[in-house]
Amino acid sequence: MPTALNNAQKRYLRGLAHDLKPVLQVGAKGVTPAVLAELELALEQHELIKVRVAAPDREERDAWVGALVEGSGAGLAGRIGHVAILYRPRQDKPLVILPRA
């Protein structure tokens, strides 16, 4: 189940992610088990990451981002063009403390 984020939390996470570079790129093959495995490692290590999705059209990009969110249980903090910002807290000792409101 994806992490639920309210608007204040999404805004806060987008601000934190502003200076980040994408750590994962989804290529022409789409969302594969290998991509999901790398996404799991990246989320467990960083909690907040950017993912570049190189899909040819908008509908396919939306589907791939949805598959990343569903496959990882992460919350979608934002998306601009080909880049999606994903957040999932660590199991132990979270790095990012979200605002409540």
Task: Report the CATH fold assignment for 7-87.
Answer: Translation Initiation Factor IF3 (3.30.110)
**Cα separation of 69 and 22, whole Å?**
16
Residue 28 near residue 64, CB atoms below 8 Å: no
Digit-coded pLDDT (tens) for 74-89: 999 999 999 999 999 9
C-alpha dihedral sign at 47, 1, 10, 97:
negative
**Cα separation of 100 and 79, whole Å?**
22
> Domains of the chain: which residue ranges?
7-87
Residue range 20-28: average pLDDT? 92
Q: Global pTM?
A: 0.91
CA angle 81, 87, 91 (to 5 degrees): 160
